[in-house]
Amino acid sequence: MREIVIVGGGYAGFYTAWGLGKRLRAGEARVTVVDPRPYMTYQPFLPEVTAGSVEARHAAVSLRRHLRSTRLIAGSVIEIRNADRTATVRPANGDDYELRYDILVVTAGAVTRTFPIPGLAQQAIGLKHVEEAVAIRDRLMTALDQAASLPPGAERRRLLTVTFVGGGFSGVEGFGELLSLATAMLKSYPELSIDDLSFHLVEARGRILPEVNDKPGAWVVRSLERRGAHIHLNTQLVSVEDGHVVLSNGEEFDSALIVWTAGNASNPVVHNHTDLLVDERGLLVVRPDLRAGTDSEPVPDVWAAGDDAAVPDLASSVPEARTVPNAQHAVRQGRRLAKNIAASLHGGRIRNYRHSSLGVVATLGLGRGIFQYKSIVIKGLPAWLMHRGYHVLAVPSWERKIRVLTVWLTAAVFGRDLVSLASVQHPRDAFVTSANPERSGESRASDHAAP
């Protein structure tokens, strides 16, 4: 039995394991996925999770349910020593241990890139994981509840001020969806009006959504501004201590919700803790067939794909181009990896990865979107329908597609099913208060240790 170890069960890792499950012969190899999370996160749904349009659980694709023939290890790989063919695993519980492999697949993705901005680590939240999307939604809804019971003034303004930093794909989608949610929620709050909301999007460059051309990018800015948003271009976040936002353009304001979506950094295990060849950005160097190494120095039995790998883009006319880090590539690279690994075991033909972009489609909130393919640009409702259509087809498994579609159809009839469940983060409060009214606050600290 050959041991195939896959580091990371996200997009690329999930599709590799799924494909191998279908292609490997019985008893030929054991496939192991190591990931601290028991699910693959369907990240394109996260903006809709923040807006309550997609159920949080539906953006999480269970590895155990869908990868039945794969061994799963709940833990992180903290070091790869390919010279010894071992990966060091840090399990959720217990001591670190060595995992031996015959074939290694590195699909650990990227991590959120941050900077040492005063107050950022204490005040901001990212938008890369399901729990972050849920917390953003709950915080906004709790803020609306609290603001509605306050008279106009500084505290009410702070609660209703939302700041997104980073105008890339995930930032603009998250911003547009949350703005759409807040605006829609006002119908339930007669105490509040649209003028009470203050939504800021801060972008260091002179434009947002670099994935689309200048003209559609400018249209997105105008369309968000028409909805009351403040878009700060050529502006950086200077500090955010105690929730007080200071921008490089001189503006300052208090903001209760600060979402950091200013890009990705290379995964530390790939960048710093491996003897495999890594480029200047901290990405694994791979060949066009997704094998690690270069044409002159190939690394046998090591493969990589997705956001942690510098994959040559054979569809681009630009010399030395690498595929952009997105789901469109990660899925297809995962599928190609499974085929190539199976071919390497069965003596078949190993093929290069090649994919021409299908275009870009982004949601800007309920009923609003933008799509671009080469010179074709579609805006508004048709683009939003394309966004939903594409993603419901792209999310893995029929079971997940039907669940998501059912929520959308139900919402079309009854509206979004919304209530802040921020209290789930302190599940023992009510019980502790009943058991011992004087010590009600103590449950919060002990929640972390509770089973």
Ligand X SMILES: Cc1cc2nc3c(=O)[nH]c(=O)nc-3n(C[C@H](O)[C@H](O)[C@H](O)COP(=O)(O)OP(=O)(O)OC[C@H]3O[C@@H](n4cnc5c(N)ncnc54)[C@H](O)[C@@H]3O)c2cc1C
Distance of CA 166 to the CA centre of its chain: 14
Q: Which of 233, 230, 235, 228 is nearest to 250 (CA)?
A: 235
Instruction: Choose the stretch contacting ligand X; rule: CB under 6 A; options: 3-11, 135-143, 149-157, 214-222.
Output: 3-11
Among residue numbers 37 through 76, which ones bind ligand X (CB under 6 A)? 37, 43-44, 46-47, 76
Instruction: Choose the stretch contacting ligand X; rule: CB under 6 A; options: 32-40, 183-191, 287-295, 436-444.
Output: 32-40
Residue 390, exposed/middle/buried by CB under 10 A (0-12, 13-18, 19+)?
middle
Which of residues 62 and 239 has its CB atom nearest to ligand X in the complex? 62
Q: Could you say whether residue 365 binds ligand X (CB under 6 A)?
A: no
CB of 309 to ligand X, least distance (A): 8
Among 66, 85, 128, 157, binds ligand X (CB under 6 A): 128
Q: Could you say whether residue 327 binds ligand X (CB under 6 A)?
A: yes
Q: Could you say whether residue 267 binds ligand X (CB under 6 A)?
A: yes
The token pair that represents 152 in the structure block: 């106009």
Q: Could you say whether residue 107 binds ligand X (CB under 6 A)?
A: yes
Q: Which amino acid is at 220?
A: V
Residues 423 and 43: their CA atoms lie apart, in Å, by 24
Helix axes 327-346, 11-23, angle to 10 degrees: 30
One character per residue 157-176, x = contact with ligand X (rule: CB under 6 A): ------------xx--x---
Residues 242 and 75: their CA atoms lie apart, in Å, by 34
Which of residues 34 and 54 has its CB atom nearest to ligand X in the complex? 34
Which of residues 167 and 246 has its CB atom nearest to ligand X in the complex? 167
DSSP 283: P
Among residue numbers 405 through 444, which ones bind ligand X (CB under 6 A)? none
Q: Could you say whether residue 9 binds ligand X (CB under 6 A)?
A: yes
Q: Which amino acid is at 221?
A: V
Asked if 258 contacts 240 with a C-beta cutoff of 8 angstroms, the reply is yes
Helix (H, G, I), strand (E, B) or coil at 15: helix
- Write out the residues near ligand X by the rule CB under 6 A: 7-13, 34-37, 43-44, 46-47, 76-77, 107-109, 127-128, 169-170, 173, 267, 269, 306-308, 325-328, 330
